Structures are given as structure tokens and as C-alpha cells.
Amino acid sequence: MKILLASNSPRRRELLSGLGIDYEVKVLPDIDESFPPDLTAEEIPQYISRNKADAYPVEEGELLITADTIVYCKGEVLGKPVDEADACRMLRQLSGCTHQVVTGVTLKTRQQVHTFSCTTQVTFARLSDEEITYYVRNYAPFDKAGAYGVQEWIGFVGVTRLEGSYCNVIGLPVQRLYTELKKMNAIKKKKIF
């Protein structure tokens, strides 16, 4: 199958490339990422990834991958921060707490649409205001849910525990995605030896 990744995220592209499969990037602008207020943390990214998939037509022999990731802490969805103050507020909320990172993924062909999610528990050490300000000013995490990238400085100094998929926290649960792609016969089995 011809695999299409509908994402502008360089992190998702890097993670998908790590599977060693060929794919093309196909991105439509201005797709609505709003969601009904009564959804659970697990349902929100599934709903958004499904809406993204609905916006794309697929041809016979194509498989489209869409994804959305949220950070959920103390009953609040932490999306992408709007500015430096918002990023600092989010990181103060995550400081010293365990939160959930949930990614919803939708796989769409002409014949079927399959959506799943993956949840990872992430625990942060208590962060000082100086550490938070340093990170935000030097790494500008304005394109990241929850205002942080686990693969950056803040992840090195702040994350004390991670339960689940590390790749999910970066933005794409590649092990689960690989399993689902195999189930759909979307990728060829490679001969290892």
C-alpha cells in the first residue's frame, strides 16, 4: 500500500521513518481540531484524528495516517501554548505531578477506517521557576501539547518516571502503529536474515 502521513510534525515524520517504511506527507491546511466538551481524555485525540482523516480523500491502494496528541493533567487538556506565559503556566501545572499523554491515531483506506489510542503516564519532578523559564526561552515549545518535548532538556532533567510508550509522548506510538499496519497488511514483512 502507498502510505500517506497527514502531519506537519517533524517528530511524527522522524518516528514513522524509524519504521523503515516508505511514505509520503500529505497535509491539508486549517483542519478543525475542536472537540465536544463531554469527551474523555482518551476519546479527545481519537475524535480529532478521525476528523482529520475525514477531511482527506484516499485512492484505492492508499492508506492514510492521521494523529493527534493531548496532555491531560488535573482534569485539564493542555494543548499547544499560545505564548511564553501560557507555556510557563502549563509547566508549573505539570511540575511535581503525574499526567497522561494520549495519542489518537486513525488509519484510513477506501475500505475501512480504524481508530485507536495509546496512553502514557509521565511523572515530572518538582521544577523551579528558573528551570521552567530557562526551558521555555531556550526551546520555545509552542508547537507541543503541554508545552514540552520529552526528548528535549526538560525531559532529561524533569521526567522521573514514564509508564508506557516513550514514542507516544513524542507524538506517535510507533510500536502500536506498526502492529496495526501489519494487521491491515499495509506493510511488507521484511526478511531480517
Known catalytic residues? 68
Look at the alpha carbons of 89, 41, 28, 165 in this order and tell me if their dihedral is positive or negative. positive
H or E element in which residue 90 lies:
helix 84-94
Which strand (E) or helix (H) includes residue 3? strand 2-5
Distance in angstroms (rounded) separating the CA atoms of residues 158 and 81: 19
Helix (H, G, I), strand (E, B) or coil at 121: strand
SS3 77: strand
One-letter identity of residue 3: I
Using DSSP bridges, classify how beta strands 2-5 and 159-163 pair: parallel, antiparallel or unpaired: unpaired
CB hemisphere CA count around 174 (13 angstroms): 16
Closest Cα to residue 23, out of 67, 54, 69? 67
